[in-house]
Amino acid sequence: MTFKEFDFHSDLFKGIKAAGFKEPSPIQELAIPLISQGNDIVGQAHTGTGKTAAFGLPIIDKIAKGEIERALVITPTRELATQVSDELYHLGRFAGIRTLTVYGGVGYGRQIALIHKGVQIVVATPGRLKDLYRKGKIEVFNPEIVVLDEADEMLDMGFLDDIQEIFQYIPQNRQTLLFSATIPEPIKDLAEEILYQPRFISVVSETEATNNIIQQRYYVIKENQRDEAIVRLLETEESDKCIIFCRMKREVDRLTEHLQALGFSAAGIHGDLVQNERESMIKSYRRGEIKIMVATDVAARGLDVKNVTHVFNYHIPFDPQSYVHRIGRTGRAGKSGQAITLVTTEEFKELQRIRKEVGANMQLATISIDSPSEENRVIQILSYIKHLEAEPIADKLLEGIEEFDTKELLKKLLTHLAKTTPVNSLEVIGFEMEDAEEMMQDYLEGEKETKKSNRKRKRR
């Protein structure tokens, strides 16, 4: 099939050609005819499948032909809103389509003014959009088509109530399109509430739906070995881009600094970052200038980056759904991905809960290490020096530096440090496979005994 088979406005074909589109993707083949015919739809598709064009092309076509005047796209995050708005603008620029991104963190004035001037497509985040409607600032904006993009992400981020309120302000005689990678029960309920006789389409295979394209592993380590384990895995795994998930902001900052000191291309992202810092960092990550993103769960939600090959759980999450959404950052658009989790024996409970509730097929593995090479030994020494509180000693040495040859003094100091700096020459980080399996078996048997005891107490 080619795009020529769709009866698009001639100016829209210029945008399609400029975008380099050759033929429709599967989601575009299914969605475009249904949307063009005026159907409400629920589309199940992952990021990277071409779904923005799947809803964007028929919307732009309807505007170009004068069939509708305005459309609204609601996305979970500012980054995604900007990305969608940019793509819609480039597809529709030859047809004179004007797009606007509406989000929080900036003044209302410009956004309200452009809406009142008659911008045709608004791409908005739920919080700011709800505020504008609630305050009566955009009563003139009555979209004939409304798109909910990444609906499951909006559910995870707690925007469901905002979405329901927003739809109270939007005219009932509209066409509504809902796109989501997964269709949990709350999304089904929402679809029944806001869509009219929707057509369901999906390009998510059974394999993708069950995350089988994501290979999941876990390593049983000691608490004080997390940094060492992450570093070793980063050195040995063949990754393009990766995300390391931490529980706390201070953990993100500390681990990022540690990785940077070791020469890794890493950056940290969490809720304390100002918006322009976050945007700049994400752009660098998308372009491949940053290879490792260290993030909290909240900061990473809605982060839409292609070619993430690995997700590392520095700590296992407490919530099974958090685990699902963490590892869902990789293995997208039909590509395989690796999800790697570090656990201690104290975290076996969370591990088993995730396995049971999510049905995760997590394989036990071990991290082998060699004695450090000369290069790694130098890195260890420099890292050790960096964390020494040695300012008073340095002052004393600098006072009497004239009595020594500088190079000779440096050689003597480094020789001493090489002998005294702690060296990790273990063969395995954490536990051997057999030991880890035995500990897990002991834990499971202990759980069985506890359940038996609880049942006996209840009978009494």
Residue 288 and residue 188 share a domain: no
pLDDT digits (tens, 9 = 90+) for 12-63: 999 999 988 888 989 999 999 999 999 999 998 876 778 899 999 999 999 9
Distance, CA of 234 to CA of 223 (rounded, Å): 18
Residue 436 and residue 407 share a domain: no
Residue 215 and residue 200 share a domain: no
Task: Determine which of 66-75, 127-136, 425-434 has the lowest per-residue pLDDT on average.
Answer: 425-434
Higher pLDDT, 355 or 157: 355
- Token readout for 410 is 């440096």
What pLDDT does 181 receive?
Answer: 81
What pLDDT does 395 receive?
Answer: 63
Q: Is 9 left (phi over 0), alpha (psi -120 to 50) or beta?
A: beta
Distance, CA of 121 to CA of 124 (rounded, Å): 10
**Residue 151's domain is classified under what CATH number?**
3.40.50.300
Distance, CA of 129 to CA of 138 (rounded, Å): 9
Higher pLDDT, 22 or 333: 22
pLDDT higher than 80, residue 165: yes
What pLDDT does 445 receive?
Answer: 84
Distance, CA of 158 to CA of 194 (rounded, Å): 18
- Indicate the pLDDT class of residue 210, thresholds 50, 70 and 90: very low
Q: Give yes or no for a contact between 203 and 250, defined as CB atoms under 8 angstroms apart.
A: no
| Predicted model pTM | 0.55
Q: Give yes or no for a contact between 409 and 402, defined as CB atoms under 8 angstroms apart.
A: no
Domain edge (last residue) among 154, 170, 204: 204
Residue 190 and residue 41 share a domain: yes
Tell me the percentage of the chain whose pLDDT exceeds 70: 82
Residue 113 and residue 36 share a domain: yes
Domain edge (last residue) among 173, 204, 235: 204
Residue 301 and residue 441 share a domain: yes
- Token readout for 263 is 């020469």
Residue given tokens 């049971």 in the structure block: 356
Residue 318 and residue 185 share a domain: no
Residue 327 and residue 404 share a domain: no
Domain edge (last residue) among 153, 172, 204: 204
Residue 90 and residue 183 share a domain: yes
Distance, CA of 386 to CA of 381 (rounded, Å): 9
> Domain limits at 343?
208-369+428-459
Residue 332 and residue 313 share a domain: yes
What pLDDT does 302 receive?
Answer: 56
Residue 295 and residue 349 share a domain: yes
Distance, CA of 326 to CA of 335 (rounded, Å): 16
Residue 186 and residue 222 share a domain: no
- Domains contained in the chain, number: 3
According to DSSP, residue 217 is labeled: E
Task: Determine which of 184-188, 242-246, 379-383 has the lowest per-residue pLDDT on average.
Answer: 379-383
Average pLDDT over residues 398-403: 59
DSSP code string of 231-288: HHHHHHS--SEEEEE-SSHHHHHHHHHHHHHTT--EEEE-TTS-HHHHHHHHHHHHHT
> Of 153, 145, 112, 150, which Cα lies nearest the Cα of 129?
112
